Chain A
Amino acid sequence: MLPDPCPLFSSEDTRHTDLMATWLQFALRFVLGGAIVSLFSFVGQLLKPKTFAGIFSAAPSVALGSLALSRLAHGAEHTVAEGRSMALGSVALLVYSAACAESIRASRWPVWLTTGLCWALWLLTAFSLRGCLLWVTQR
């Protein structure tokens, strides 16, 4: 059997430390993400007209904290790859927002239901675009 590479800690201790670090990073992401989302939301609420305030509903609130932490944890190449995918996600957000505007105007269903159902449209658009990108780049 090979000797333990780190004599101070057993492999179980190392696993425990890794797990603690992962949970700490998730907790940090939760607080940072939540705080930035609340801040942008607060600014949006203060503004009128609502077409202008709506810009803040599509602010990079989740992205700012997440990109900062992933850059510190995984380096620049990881951030660039996330940026590439985020561009596809933002096109899906455009489709989602336009669908929400139309459904609110035309539908008699509750807004929480139609905007919730439109999440499926976001998922479909985002993953279709990603599929297209992978197909084009792997040809």
Chain B
Amino acid sequence: MKPELNWAALDKAKPGQYLVRFAFGGLISVGAAALGAHWGPGVGGLFLAFPAILPASLTLLKDKGGTRQACDDARGAVLGSLGLCAFALTVMSAGRAPLVQVLLLATAAWALTSIALWWAAYRNERA
């Protein structure tokens, strides 16, 4: 099984769904900043990995694609969270480098870790 682009999914997408995700993403960003301002970066940093939009995504997937698709998405998020851990560890260890460099390195660490883990776990699985 190889990853592919599914352009047909665009036909099913509704602008309202993106508005909900935009609002949740914005609220969690502001919430993390407010918590960080009050209790320090030790608490604010936790919320940079808060599952803000996963409930909305999984609910939509269950309604449109059934239990299997929602379950698969959550299993993919397990791998993505290990990638997110690689992102955070990169920020922690290279955080004093120039900002753009830190963010690019960390995003690359997230992508490489997640994709490598996915490849190891699911490459032989049938669609």
Contacts and interface: CB of A to CB of B under 8 A. Distances in A.
Interface of chain A, main secondary structure:
helix
Given A70-B41, A100-B58, A60 B77 contact: no
A89 B48 contact: yes
A78 B36 CA distance: 10
Given A33-B26, A79-B102, A105-B71, A127 B46 contact: yes
B115 A76 contact: no
Interface of A: 25-26, 29-38, 41-42, 44-72, 74, 76, 78-94, 96-98, 100-101, 104-105, 110-112, 115-116, 118-119, 122, 126-127, 130
Contacts of B75: 51, 54, 97, 101
| Most A CB within 10 A of own CB, among B21, B45, B107 | B45
Contact of A87 (B36, B74, B89): B89
B38 interface: no
B25 A84 contact: no
Interface residues of B, number: 87
B95 A79 contact: yes
A25 B33 contact: yes
B79 A46 contact: no
Given A66-B32, A79-B91, 17 more contacts: A45-B9, A49-B1, A50-B73, A53-B73, A54-B74, A57-B54, A68-B99, A81-B41, A82-B48, A85-B44, A90-B81, A93-B49, A93-B50, A97-B80, A104-B74, A105-B67, A115-B55
9 A-B pairs with least C-beta separation: A54-B76, A37-B25, A33-B29, A58-B80, A85-B45, A89-B49, A83-B91, A34-B26, A82-B45
Contact of B48 (A52, A56, A67, A100): A67
Contacts of A33: 25-26, 28-30
A4 to B, nearest CB: 26
A104 B32 contact: no
Nearest to A60: B87
Nearest to B28: A62
